[in-house]
Structure 1
Amino acid sequence: MDGVLYRCKTIYARLFAPGEIMLSCAKLFRKGLAALVMVSGLLSVAGAATAAPLRVQIMPGNIASLYVYLGTSLGFYEREGLDVEVVHIANGPQANSALVSKSVDVIMNMPDNMILLKHRGIDTVAVVGNAVQYPFFLIQRKGLGLPTGQDYRSVMSRIKGKTIGVYGLGSSTDRFVRQLAKSANVNDADLKRAAMGGPAASVSGLVAGNLDVSVDVLSSGILVEHMGIGEFVLDCSDPVAQCPPLITEGGKTSLAYFTTSDFLAANPDAMKKFVRTHRKIHAWIKDPSNRVAFVNELKKILPAPALDNPDAYYADVADRAAAFFGTRVRLSALDAIQQSLVESGEIKSAKPLDDMVWSAVID
């Protein structure tokens, strides 16, 4: 500052009377600061304007949306040059409707929902994977007495007449339990399915005794075990369960992020940034040095449970999440899921799905 004023005085001494020099220099200095602030602000606005806007759907309070939560909370998207707007949508069919109506750009969904959409003439593309194990589990309330640690046929043969909570009738959770029942020769009419909307309501249903069994995500099962109100009764990622091959293979890409082919064609750079971001998030989760920070983020995402030792719950979720999530999309998994839709009668025949997996090279 002193150097600037000195140079200013030297110049102004040639133009002004001695008494006017300091006043003129002070004015010039103030104007210079104002100009600097204005230019800095314009540069900041220009930088913000370069961020690619992207509306991304999440399932509120559902660990399946973990990567989007982390991407916004920890600044992964921002650092990659994305301006992500999070859109809360409860289940897969609703997410499909939002994608078709263009009220959202990218949705996190199960491939079964997206394959059904493709068969209705809407071209959707999986741009990055989200889970490499089947995302849903059968969780029973305490005292129900269904066998644990056994194959799915043993479980399903004893589930007749029980009230089973699913997110929504026609949703992926509903389709999962119906597929298990059909493979185990259990009549669909023997399943009493109740639409619960999501994980929070499902857990409440088990607590209140309104549900016998819930079809839900891993964090819900871990929670009810820690609360002492229920337990996992079927986990298709466990070889002991011997789940139907189409479920096992389909589980290798059980969740992914999808957009429409039109949006992808118009916004390839934004989608490359999205994919790179999710790969970085995946690497961050896998890094043991981020364990404490990861658990702290889970505490923000999942409701605080009324437990004597909530930290143990979050630690268990972190352990399972590291194996559950992944960014790979397998065409073989999509083919298996499509075949299950053929067998259930929801589509008449299979069609090539190669164009449902984005093949662009990510730098």
Structure 2
Amino acid sequence: MRKTRMAASAAACLLALSSLTACANDAAGSASDSGNGSGGKGEHVKIMVGGLDKVIYLPAMLTQRLGFFGAEGLDVQLLSEPAGVQAETALVSGQVQGAVGFYDHTLDLQVKGKSVESVVQFSHAPGEVEVVSQKTAGTITSPKDFKGKKLGVTGLGSSTDFLTKYLAVKNGVNVSDFTPVAVGAGPTFISALQKGSIDGGMTTDPTVATILQKKAGRILLDMRTPEGSQQALGGPYPSSSLYMQTDWVNSHKDTVQKLVNAFVKTLTWMSTHSASEIAAKMPADYSQGDRTLYAEAIKSTLPMFTKDGVMPAGGPETVEKVLKAFNPSIKNAKVDLAKTYTTEFAEKSAG
């Protein structure tokens, strides 16, 4: 399903952004140190990830570590930002050619006049978990209790922000009745939960696994499986994906096909290997000193991933329903879902 959209400029240099440069060097170093990187040879592509160490975006670094980018003749530079909304910003500003983040950003961007599409779909469930602090576990027993609460999200305008607002509205709580707090993920999220800066929040593994190990909070809603997505959101919810500006896709089809080939190889590899085997391929620092806990985090999240990178049937409609429930700009706009994704490249890879 191929569609066209408005154009964006070619990628600009990120060297002036020191934090991104550091992340890029870390990513490239991790890949080359393992001998599985692309080795700096081939066509150069920059991809911004909304959190390289998040398990929901694991295919990005795993593809690098397995050497699949290099095998396709690509030199892929992986960059990292704490939240998907920041990865989106890097993409639309032309700083990178691709973004690994939630598919829902493509709908949000379309109504803002930006033409962006998912070219390979990593997942059919959000992989997100709503947790509540130990202190508030007795008073927050469902999203109906969000009123008056401070709820953590990775960033304002992020997919965790979107999903939190939907869960509130679905359960009779207005978005103005609670306070979203941008706390990132990992140590910053956990610290906010422990200090009472937030009463609960939405996050992913490995943060979830650490929260449970530290007994810093409890799970309220688990959307790491298709079943959990169905229960909370009413259908499959395609989340983590590689999305790119449509104009760039149309003018670089060979490169996009190679990228998708690499990612589909990874998704297939993941479906035939254990969580421990996957964990062993990732950078050592991703486990934060506890490889067993990290493997458990991967095991809990594995059900969210597709095996072929193809958009799940009915998924875009679920995402549109969720966004229309609370987002005024989308609620009152006509979204052309067919222009928010393509299955052209993934079907060729899987075929």
| TM score, norm. by length of structure 1 | 0.76
Q: How many residues align?
A: 304
In structure 2, give the amino acid aligned to 1:293: E
**Residues 240/90 of structure 1: CA separation in 2 closer, same or farther (3 Å cut):** closer
- 1:362 corresponds in structure 2 to 348
**Residues 100/293 of structure 1: CA separation in 2 closer, same or farther (3 Å cut):** same
> Whose Rg is larger?
1
The structure richer in helix per residue is: 1
- 1:316 corresponds in structure 2 to 296
Contact kept, 8 Å, 2:117 with 2:340, in 1: the verdict is yes
> 3-state DSSP class of the match of 1:194?
strand
Which range moves more in the overlay, 178-187 or 55-64?
A: 55-64
**Residues 358/161 of structure 1: CA separation in 2 closer, same or farther (3 Å cut):** same
* CA-CA distance at 1:277 after TM superposition: 0.8
- 1:334 corresponds in structure 2 to 316
* CA-CA distance at 1:162 after TM superposition: 2.4
Contact kept, 8 Å, 2:39 with 2:70, in 1: the verdict is no
Contact kept, 8 Å, 2:226 with 2:303, in 1: the verdict is no
> 3-state DSSP class of the match of 1:258?
strand
**Residues 117/241 of structure 1: CA separation in 2 closer, same or farther (3 Å cut):** closer
Q: Which runs of 4+ in 1 moved over 3 A?
A: 47-50, 236-244, 290-293
How do residues 238-249 of structure 1 correspond to structure 2 at under 5 angstroms? 243=231, 247-249=233-235
> 3-state DSSP class of the match of 1:104?
coil
The question of 1:172 aligning with 2:159 is answered yes
Larger RCO, structures 1/2 (Cα 8 Å, 6+ apart): 2
Contact kept, 8 Å, 1:132 with 1:324, in 2: the verdict is yes
Given the alignment, which residue of 188, 204, 209 partners 2:191? 204
Given the alignment, which residue of 221, 224, 227 partners 2:214? 227
In structure 1, give the amino acid aligned to 2:175: D
* CA-CA distance at 1:270 after TM superposition: 1.1
- 1:9 corresponds in structure 2 to none
Deviations 1:336-356 (A, max 9, x none): 222333332232123322132
Given the alignment, which residue of 166, 181, 190 partners 2:177? 190
- 2:99 corresponds in structure 1 to 107
* CA-CA distance at 1:195 after TM superposition: 1.1
Which range moves more in the overlay, 103-112 or 230-239?
A: 230-239
In structure 2, give the amino acid aligned to 1:259: M
Contact kept, 8 Å, 2:127 with 2:301, in 1: the verdict is no
* CA-CA distance at 1:331 after TM superposition: 5.8
Given the alignment, which residue of 237, 250, 254 partners 1:269? 254
In structure 2, give the amino acid aligned to 1:355: K
**Residues 223/249 of structure 1: CA separation in 2 closer, same or farther (3 Å cut):** same
* CA-CA distance at 1:255 after TM superposition: 2.0
Q: Give the gaps of 5 or more residues in structure 1.
A: 1-46, 149-153
Contact kept, 8 Å, 1:55 with 1:85, in 2: the verdict is yes
How do residues 1-363 of structure 1 correspond to structure 2 at under 5 angstroms? 51-58=42-49, 59-146=51-138, 155-236=142-223, 237=225, 243=231, 247-251=233-237, 253-288=238-273, 291-298=275-282, 300=284, 302-304=286-288, 310-326=290-306, 327-330=309-312, 332-344=314-326, 345-347=328-330, 348-360=332-344, 361-363=347-349
Contact kept, 8 Å, 2:120 with 2:310, in 1: the verdict is yes
> 3-state DSSP class of the match of 2:151?
strand
In structure 1, give the amino acid aligned to 2:324: V
- 1:17 corresponds in structure 2 to none
> 3-state DSSP class of the match of 1:272?
helix
Deviations 1:45-104 (A, max 9, x none): xx9897221111112432222111112223121112110011222223322221122110
For the aligned residue pairs, the C-alpha RMSD in angstroms reads: 2.6
Alignment partners' CA distance in 2, 1:267 and 1:241:
34
* CA-CA distance at 1:197 after TM superposition: 2.6
**Residues 339/349 of structure 1: CA separation in 2 closer, same or farther (3 Å cut):** farther
Alignment partners' CA distance in 2, 1:320 and 1:271:
30
* CA-CA distance at 1:239 after TM superposition: 5.2
Alignment partners' CA distance in 2, 1:87 and 1:50:
18
In structure 1, give the amino acid aligned to 2:66: L
> 3-state DSSP class of the match of 1:98?
helix
| TM score, norm. by length of structure 2 | 0.78
> 3-state DSSP class of the match of 2:314?
helix
Contact kept, 8 Å, 2:155 with 2:182, in 1: the verdict is yes
Deviations 1:164-186 (A, max 9, x none): 11112222211211111111111
In structure 1, give the amino acid aligned to 2:121: G
Contact kept, 8 Å, 2:151 with 2:198, in 1: the verdict is yes
In structure 2, give the amino acid aligned to 1:201: T
In structure 2, give the amino acid aligned to 1:262: D
- The alignment-based identity, stated in percent, is 21
